[in-house]
Every structure is written in structure tokens, then in C-alpha cells.
Amino acid sequence: MTTNVSEQFHAVGEDIHDTKAPAGPIERRWDERKFSTKLVNPANRRKLSVIVVGTGLAGASAAATLGEAGYHVKSFCYQDSPRRAHSIAAQGGINAAKNYRNDGDSIYRLFYDTVKGGDFRARESNVYRLAQVSVNIIDQCVAQGVPFAREYGGLLDNRSFGGVQVSRTFYARGQTGQQLLIGAYQALERQIAAGTVEMNTRHEMLELIMIDGKARGIIVRDMVSGEIETHTADAVVLATGGYGNVFFLSTNAMGCNVTATWRAHRKGAFFANPCYTQIHPTCIPVSGDYQSKLTLMSESLRNDGRIWVPKKAGDDRAPSDIPEDERDYYLERIYPAFGNLVPRDIASRAAKYQCDAGKGVGPGGLGVYLDFADAIARLGRHEVEAKYGNLFDMYAQITGENPYEQPMRIYPAVHYTMGGLWVDYDLQSNLEGLFVAGEANFSEHGANRLGASALMQGLADGYFVLPYTIANYLADGPYEKIDDSHPEVVAARTAVEERIEKFLSINGTRTVDSFHKELGQIMWDYCGMERTEEGLIKAISMIRDLKADFWSNVKVTGVNEELNQTLERAGRVADFFELGELMCIDALNRRESCGGHFRAESQTEDGEALRHDDEFAYVSAWEFGEEQPTLRKEPLEYEYVEMKSRSYK
Amino acid sequence: MNITVRVWRQKNADDKGRMVTYGVENVSEHMSFLEMLDVLNEQLTLAGDDPIAFDHDCREGICGMCGVVINGIAHGPEVTTTCQLHMRSFEDGAVIDVEPWRAGAFPVVKDLVVDRSAFDRIIQAGGYISAPTGSAPDAHAVPVPKDDADHAFDAATCIGCGACVAACPNGSAMLFTSAKITHLGLLPQGQPERESRVIGMVEQHDHEGFGSCTNIGECTSACPKGIPLDTIAQLNRDLLGALAHGKA
């Protein structure tokens, strides 16, 4: 086998073969695993403690469920309330294999669609379990009072989402994430009142404590007083979300960061598939260099909107002045079968190509038109308003333009990260006692996540998977009590304190945000929608230079012993530099195009993504090294779903 | 455009606090209000000054973390969250006052950041349906009339930002509390705890030091999610019923 050019940046270690999934028929595996888990006597549960970091769908549901079971739970979030976590911003819906529409859906079909949608880079066993528990999630949420959309008969409504041929998506107008999160938040608050969960808001995890090979606690900073605190427990759960903000501009909340998982990675946890990033095609474009975040608009807009650019590069006429025959409806032209409804990755890349060719519209030429003129003519303004009114209002609010009168401008934006900490079937990382849930782990979406699947996975992990698997781990506890004076605790605390002192002492000439924006631009240009060998190698060197400049030239004002938002951001950006480099190395290693990762060197004659299953049907699990990371491959096997390539022409 | 902002600066909870004037030049009308503050903070940082602390997170109007009083109005001149307010709502040369939520139950932490943990404690006092994981019947076991589900949803869209409290002359959190009472009280799943819920939440509301509701309606006009005032009527009806049943 030829050596990969990426190997100048990393070592290659032994493959990972055991993911702890039971053998046997796939539909029996989760039952087998549940039956084989050890149980904990209810009277002993109080003596067992679990730290849960993050209060999004995965974290809040895990903390509430573990609290209900009687464990002593300590929950942490950086926001002022657990209800703020960014799961709240999810719009579309949540999938479940209920088959309430009697349209041929089943657990097996949801499993099949998810494996295929993930471009054959997810594990069959995990995905099957996800499809199985999806049905329980809807029951649970309804019982909690989540106000899903209903029909006149009082039963739940469903819709088809993301090009799937069955209607399995449950939704609450355009605010499904909000309603699901509030449900989990209320369950969590109920446990806080019951005294089973101890809540720590405005606390940020800055280090993981490892003792005798086990995750035993975390170091956090109280973001109001600046106090560095030690919290120990019998197990640690990270449910800290994705790392899309490495790009600076993304649809993530401003505070979303990689620090919790990156700190765990530095302590030995494998980081899997970091290069798998989902870029969503229908976001509102950047309007200027002050831009702080990007806003997603539901891709349901593509059901009726037509995407186009001027045929002539540099055409700066108003859209209404460009006659029909001088417009290029490029998706309809290139993909006549699917037209404007091609999957997210294809629509995003096509927009990039148009803009690269100088045909982009709006400020900086980074946008394409999404035009509703035909839909309004066909359906009438009233019907378009009924379908998309809230999205049109949102667009008008942000851009100051009226989308009923002129076409919307859209551009792709980073939206979700499929990569994350490597976990086994039990959602345990390679570090004993460290569990990872939701977007923070790498597991069920493979190289590409389907619409309405993120909410499903977050709640599956938190309500229905972790509570079983973590109990199995806790059954061997309680582990030896850890004192604050334990050398590993002292070392972790000292490391955190020294890092903070370092940030405050540099007193350079550039702001944290200016570094973050520059890093984001490098990531977007070279590790965004399309990656090349040359570009990735260049990006690695640029990131290293920028990181060195950051550590000698960043300016962090104020002191530690106060609410200091600049200091908070400095710590997050410092970790983004290291993650960004690993993302580029991972992307460089993966000389194939799959899902959210498109390598220009690996495409078909007509420019479509070309996978190389013979070489790359594996999970890339990266082990941290001070000098260089080590690649550990977990081979992927498909017993149930035949590996096929996607085609949308 | 060039603007002047007068911002509440308060070092910490013990500091007295004061308004400080800053000029911001070359403001684009497309900037969000918070992006304007970002630009100002970059200027302050480079000058070695302490940037202005303010709460914010999603910047798309749904997390409820942001919120300041702008020219005396909670979330400013448009009915939306502060993060969704854009500078095109102001004129060139404008002088804009920026203050934190003002309410006894929301103590200032620093500058524009306040402590809204009282809201979480109101929810802890009954703002939930007790449905332990794994105990749920099939989702279709209990149909819910569409009207009830829709109205429950309308009330459930509350983002917990606290604008209702900041806008209320009494500093009351009755709109926040009633939104949850209404959301859960309209659903069949919420019936068993309906009376204990309203008693518990209202007690906690008062205990936190929020003022009483005198039906002024400033809350609903400031609410970025349009939570209707009649949720408070619903709360009062539920409260009277619960008291009549001797649940207090």
C-alpha cells in the first residue's frame, strides 16, 4: 500500500476492532446489551455520582434520567440557565419510525436511510439502535407536554423531510428543538428541585481529571467569580455539542466551543472523524466583516424556491433587471431529476462553484438567489405566506429586504459537525468512565447527517442509551474517593491556572476575535466545502503560524477574578487552533469524497463525489500526541445495507 | 452611520454603576445591535479598556440569553430580541441608552449581565409534568384537540428572556409564569398536577421578590414572542380554582 502524503503530519497506530457491540441479529443487539448490563441496587445509587457537562438535548435528558434513577448528578453549563443550550435553535423536526402515516416506514427503513444517508461511514449496530429507540422518544416527549403539531383529529402530524419518501418527522412549527429542549429542561429542573441533580450554571469545564486510567472529575471555572473549582465523581459525561465555531462563522451559538472534548482528547480520548462537517445550503449570506454568526433558514424553502445566478460573471444588475434567458437555474440544469432538492452537500458545493466563477450575488459576491416569484405566481402570495411566512419574516428582519418582492440571497454555512470524541457501543470513550453523548460524540451520522436526525440522536443518547450503559459502569463503583489534594487533581488545577495566567500576561496587540476570524477563514477556504491536498498542507502551516502568533500577541484584558468574557473566548480559540490543525490532517488523510467531506482529487468524470470503500471504509480515530497525532482506524463492516454510491442526476 | 451609546457600566454586583458614553463610527445599518457592541468592544480592548459584558448566545432570537433595555424599552424599538434588532432601526447620529434589565429579582452581575436564576427556580416549583423516562404510554394514546395543542404551543414559545419583567412597572414575572401554567394546563398530560403547579409556581414567584401583576400589559407588548396577556387570566382562573379546592 502506498503511503499517504498525510503521514508527514501523523503516525499510524493499531486498528480498533472491538466496539463492544453484541454479535447476533442486528435487531436483537440492543436487547442483548441491556440484558447483559449490570444493575445497581436502588439503595446504592445515591452513593454513586455522575458529572454531566452540557445541558442540550443529550445532556439535559441524561442528567434528568440519571437523577430520576437516583444517582447523584452534577450538571454544568456555561450559559445562565440550562434552557439556553443551542439544541434550542433546531428548526425542522425529529425523526421517529412510528409509521403513524401507514406509509411503509419501519425501524429497518429508518436504519437503512440513516446508514445510506451517512454515506456508509457510520456503524450499523449503533444506527439500528437509534432507529429502535426513536419511537420511545416521541412517547416520552408527548408525556412531558411537548406541544407537537397535531391534526384536527387530535393525533400527531408528520411531514416528510430532507428528501425522504416517508413522513416520519414530528415537528412543533419551526421550533422543534426549542420545544424538545424545554421538555428536557423541565425534567431536569424537576430533578434539581428533588435534590438529585446539583446544577452549576455559568461554569465552564476547562480540564478533565484522569486517575488510574479512569475519568474521575473535571476542573471548571466559575464564570462570575473566576474561581477554579474541582468536581469529582464516579463517571463523567460530556454532552458539550459540536465544534462548528472553529470556522468562526457558523449557525452555532456564539459560545459553542470544543474545549471540553478537546481537553479530554488531550488527556487520551480519541477524536474521531474531525473533518466531517455539515455545511447547510440555505443560510443568510454574510453582510460585512463585522458579521458574528450566520442564520439558517429551513431547507424546506427549496421545495418551492428556485435557485439561480446570472449567466454572466460580474453581472451586477438588480435581479428584476436580469431577463429570464440570462439566468442560470444551475441545480435544475445539472440535476434535472432532483433539481433544487438535491442533498445538502451537493447544493452547497454547487453554490460555491457558481460564486467561485464570479457569478455570486450580493455583498462580496458570496450568495445565490432563491427565487419565489414562480411559486407566488403559481400558488398565490397567500399560500406562500402560509407555508413560509415565518421564514420570510426572519429573512426580512435580518436583511431589510422583502423576499416577496425580490429573490432571497442564500449561501452555505457550517451547521453541524459529525465528528467528535470516539465512543464504543456503550457511548463510552476509550477512556474508562468518560461517556460522550449527542453532537459531541462521533457516532451515528457517519459522514453526513440527515435532516431531523440530530434531535433524535441527542435524545436517544440521553434518555434511552446512556442511562443503561453508564449504570453498567457504575455498578463496579463507587470508586475510591478523590481528595482535592490528589496529585492528579492538583496537576489539572495547576495546568488550568497557568493557562489563564498565560493568557492574561501576553498583553499583545491583537484581539481574540481577530485571531478567531482569521482561523475561521483558513478553515473555510481550505477545509470547507471542497478540500485539496495542496490546500490542506498549506492550511496546516498557516494554522501553525497563526497559533504561534496568538500565543505571543493576543490581548486579553481584565483579571481572572471577575466575569471576563474575553478570557473565556481566549481559552476556546486556543483549543480551536489545535482542533483546526487536526481537522486538516484528517481531511488530508481521507483521500476520498464522502458525505460532508469532498476531496477535489476524488471525483467522478462529471464532478460528483467519489468514495473509496476499499481504502477508507473506516472511522479515523485520532490519538493525541505532543509531537504529532496517531491515526487509529476502526474498520466499518456492512452486513445489512449494501454499500452503494449516491446518485442524484 | 456614526452613533453615540451611553452604556451602563458596573464592575460587579457590589459596584454602584454608572452610565458611560462611547462613540461608535462607521456603523453599518445591516449590523445587528449586538454586532455594534462587538465592534465597540474590539475598540475598547485594543485601547486596553474593559469591554462591555453582555449576555448573548444563539443570536437568532430563540435561546433567550440576550436582552438589554434600549432607550428605556426592553429589547429596544422593534418587537424582537436584542440580537435580532438591527442598526437600521436607528438614525445616523443617534444617541442610544443601553441598560441592563432593571428588576429587584434580577440583580446585576456585571455591566449589562443580570442574574435570572429566579426563573429556573419558578420552573422548579412546578413548571413541568412528572413523566419519568420510560414511563410514557404510546404518543397516540391520548389525542389532544388541535386548538388546545396550538394554544399550548403559543404559550410554550416563551424564551425566558425576562423582557416581561424588565418592562413591568411592578417588576412582575407573571407573564413568564402564566405562559408555563397555560402551556401545561391546556394539555391532558398536565391535568394531574394542574393545581399544585399553579400554587407552587406563584408562591415561588412571590418568594423571589417579583412584583404583583396589576394588568398593565407592558409585559406582552415587550414580549419578543408575543405571549398573550390572556395567559395571565388563565393563571388567575387556575389559581382561584386551586385555592377553592383548598390546595394552598
Q: Spell out the domains of chain A, with CATH numbers in brackets.
A: 280-415 (3.90.700.10), 487-617 (1.20.58.100)
pLDDT at A1 over 60: no
Q: What count of residues does chain A have?
A: 649
| Beta strand pairing call for A72-76 and A197-200 | parallel
- Say how far apart CA A19 and CA A2 lie, in whole Å: 28
What pLDDT does B80 receive?
A: 96
B53 and B167 housed in the same domain = no
pLDDT at B248 over 70: no
B150 and B124 housed in the same domain = yes
B63 and B150 housed in the same domain = no
Of A98, A139, A154, nearest to B144 by CB-CB distance is A154
pLDDT at A283 over 60: yes
Task: Over range B89-114, report the average pLDDT.
Answer: 98
Q: Are B123 and A132 in contact (CB under 8 A)?
A: no
B26 and B9 housed in the same domain = yes
Partner B contacted by A631 (CB < 8 A): no
**CATH number assigned to the domain comprising residue B206:** 1.10.1060.10
Mean pLDDT (chain A, rounded): 96
Query: What percentage of residues in chain A have a pLDDT greater than 70?
Result: 100
Catalytic residue among A83, A84, A121, A344: A344
Partner B contacted by A557 (CB < 8 A): yes
Confidence of residue A386 (pLDDT cuts 50, 70, 90): confident
- Say how far apart CA B137 and CA A143 lie, in whole Å: 7
- CB within 8 Å of chain B, chain A residues 42-71: 61, 64-65, 68
Query: A143, B189: Cβ pair inside 8 Å?
Result: yes
Query: B55, A80: Cβ pair inside 8 Å?
Result: yes
Q: Are A37 and A468 in contact (CB under 8 A)?
A: yes
B122 and B208 housed in the same domain = yes
- Say how far apart CA A623 and CA A277 lie, in whole Å: 20
pLDDT at B232 over 90: yes
What pLDDT does A482 receive?
A: 95
Laid out side by side, the sheet with A271-272 consists of A11-12, A630-635, A618-623, A271-272, A420-421
B202 and B97 housed in the same domain = no
Which residue range is the domain that position B161 belongs to?
A: 116-244
Query: What percentage of residues in chain B have a pLDDT greater than 90?
Result: 98
- CB within 8 Å of chain B, chain A residues 281-300: 287-288, 290-293, 295-296
B122 and B236 housed in the same domain = yes
Residue B194 in grid coordinates: 394542574
B101 and B121 housed in the same domain = no
A138 interaction partners in chain B (CB closer than 8 Å): 139
**CATH number assigned to the domain comprising residue B73:** 3.10.20.30
- Say how far apart CA A415 and CA A296 lie, in whole Å: 8
Distance from CA of A88 to the nearest CA of B (A): 6
What pLDDT does A155 receive?
A: 98
Query: A562, B129: Cβ pair inside 8 Å?
Result: no
Write out pLDDT tens, residues A100-148.
999 999 999 999 999 999 999 999 999 999 999 999 999 999 999 999 9
Of B30, B63, B142, nearest to A88 by CB-CB distance is B63
Write out pLDDT tens, residues A164-202.
889 999 999 889 999 999 999 999 999 999 999 999 999
Question: Closest residue of B to A170, CA-based?
Answer: B139
What pLDDT does A2 receive?
A: 62
- Number of domains forming the structure of chain B: 2
* Residue where one domain finishes, among candidates B63, B87, B110: B110
Partner B contacted by A511 (CB < 8 A): yes
- CB within 8 Å of chain B, chain A residues 188-217: 189-190, 192-193, 199, 201
Provide the number of CB pairs (under 8 Å) joining chain A to chain B.
Answer: 218
B106 and B121 housed in the same domain = no
Write out pLDDT tens, residues A573-625.
999 999 999 999 999 999 999 999 999 999 999 888 999 999 999 999 999 99
* Residue where one domain finishes, among candidates B50, B75, B110: B110
Task: Over range B34-63, report the average pLDDT.
Answer: 97
CA dihedral (A575, A455, B158, A297) positive or negative: positive
B125 and B74 housed in the same domain = no
pLDDT at A161 over 90: no
- Say how far apart CA B65 and CA B86 lie, in whole Å: 17
B76 and B153 housed in the same domain = no
- Say how far apart CA A296 and CA A250 lie, in whole Å: 9
Please say if A510 is a catalytic residue. no
Confidence of residue A344 (pLDDT cuts 50, 70, 90): confident
- Say how far apart CA A496 and CA A267 lie, in whole Å: 13
Of B28, B49, B152, nearest to A290 by CB-CB distance is B28
Confidence of residue B247 (pLDDT cuts 50, 70, 90): low
What pLDDT does A338 receive?
A: 87
DSSP B143: -
Distance from CA of B217 to the nearest CA of A (A): 25
Task: Over range B125-140, report the average pLDDT.
Answer: 97
Q: Are B57 and A568 in contact (CB under 8 A)?
A: no
* Residue where one domain finishes, among candidates B61, B83, B110: B110
Single-letter code of the amino acid located at A267: K
At A456 the three-state DSSP class reads: helix
Task: Over range A47-65, report the average pLDDT.
Answer: 98
B37 and B72 housed in the same domain = yes
Residue A105 makes CB contacts below 8 A (sequence gap 6+) with A97, A98, A99, A166, A167, A168
Distance from CA of A80 to the nearest CA of B (A): 7
Query: What percentage of residues in chain A have a pLDDT greater than 90?
Result: 91
Burial of A169 (0-12, 13-18, 19+ CB in 10 A): buried
Task: Over range A416-444, report the average pLDDT.
Answer: 97
To test the contact with chain A by mutation, choose from B10, B35, B58 the residue with the greatest count of A C-beta atoms within 10 A, namely: B58
